[in-house]
A and B are shown apart, each in its own frame.
Chain A
Amino acid sequence: MTASTLAVETHGLTRKYAGLEVVRNVDLRIPTGARVALVGANGAGKTTLLAMLATLVSPTSGRATIAGHDLGKHPPALRRAIGVLGHQPMVYEDLSSLENLQFFARLYEIPDAEVRVEELLRAVGLWLRRREPAAVLSRGYHQRLALARALLHRPAVLLADEPETGLDPEGVALLDDLALTVPSLTVIAATHRVDRVEAWATGLVRLDRGRVVEDTASVPVAAEARP
Chain B
Amino acid sequence: MSLAWVVMQKDLRLAWRNRTAWLSAGAFATISVLIYSFAFDLATRDVRPLLPGVLWTTFLFAGVFAAGQSFQHEADEGTFDAVLLSPASPTAIFFGKAASNLIALLVIECSQLVLATILFNTALISAELLAIVFVGTVGYVSLTTLLSIMGSRVRSRAVLLPVLSMPLLIPLLIGAVRATGASLGIEAGTAPWMLLLAVFALWSTLISALLFPIAVER
Tell whether A and B belong to one assembly: yes
Q: Which residues on A are within 8 Å of B, measured CB to CB? A: 51, 54-58, 76-77, 79-80, 82, 84, 86, 88-95, 99, 103-104, 106-109, 133, 149
B46 lies within 8 A of chain A by Cβ = no
CB distance from A54 to the nearest CB of B (A): 6
* Contact yes or no, B77 A88, CB < 8 A: yes
B18 lies within 8 A of chain A by Cβ = yes
**CA separation between A58 and B84, bound complex, in Å?**
13
- Kindly identify which residue among B13, B81, B86 contacts A86, using a CB–CB cutoff of 8 Å: B81
| List of B residues within 8 angstroms of A54 by Cβ | 85
Provide the B66-82 mask, 1 if CB < 8 A to any CB of A, else 0: 00000001000111011
* Contact yes or no, B85 A56, CB < 8 A: yes
Residue of B17, B83, B89 most packed against chain A (CB within 10 A): B17
**CA separation between A95 and B85, bound complex, in Å?**
19
**CA separation between A84 and B88, bound complex, in Å?**
15
Nearest A-chain residue to B6, judged by Cβ: A106
Nearest A-chain residue to B15, judged by Cβ: A94
- Kindly identify which residue among B77, B84, B85, B89 contacts A92, using a CB–CB cutoff of 8 Å: B77
* Contact yes or no, A91 B85, CB < 8 A: no
Provide the B10-31 mask, 1 if CB < 8 A to any CB of A, else 0: 1001100110000000000000
| List of A residues within 8 angstroms of B86 by Cβ | 79, 104, 107-108
* Contact yes or no, A103 B10, CB < 8 A: yes
* Contact yes or no, A109 B81, CB < 8 A: no
B218 lies within 8 A of chain A by Cβ = yes
CB distance from B213 to the nearest CB of A (A): 10
* Contact yes or no, A95 B82, CB < 8 A: no
CB distance from A47 to the nearest CB of B (A): 12
| List of B residues within 8 angstroms of A57 by Cβ | 218
- Kindly identify which residue among A58, A84, A95 contacts B13, using a CB–CB cutoff of 8 Å: A95
| List of B residues within 8 angstroms of A93 by Cβ | 73, 77
| List of A residues within 8 angstroms of B18 by Cβ | 94
* Contact yes or no, B6 A90, CB < 8 A: no
**CA separation between A173 and B11, bound complex, in Å?**
34
Taking A80-B87, A90-B82 as contacts, is the C-beta distance between A58 and B218 under 8 angstroms? yes
* Contact yes or no, B3 A107, CB < 8 A: yes
* Contact yes or no, A79 B73, CB < 8 A: no
Residue of A89, A91, A107 most packed against chain B (CB within 10 A): A107
| List of B residues within 8 angstroms of A80 by Cβ | 87
Residue of B84, B86, B217 most packed against chain A (CB within 10 A): B86
- Given A84-B85, A86-B78, 5 additional A-B pairs, CB 8 A: A51-B218, A82-B85, A92-B79, A103-B6, A108-B87
**CA separation between A76 and B87, bound complex, in Å?**
4
CB distance from B169 to the nearest CB of A (A): 30
* Contact yes or no, B79 A91, CB < 8 A: yes
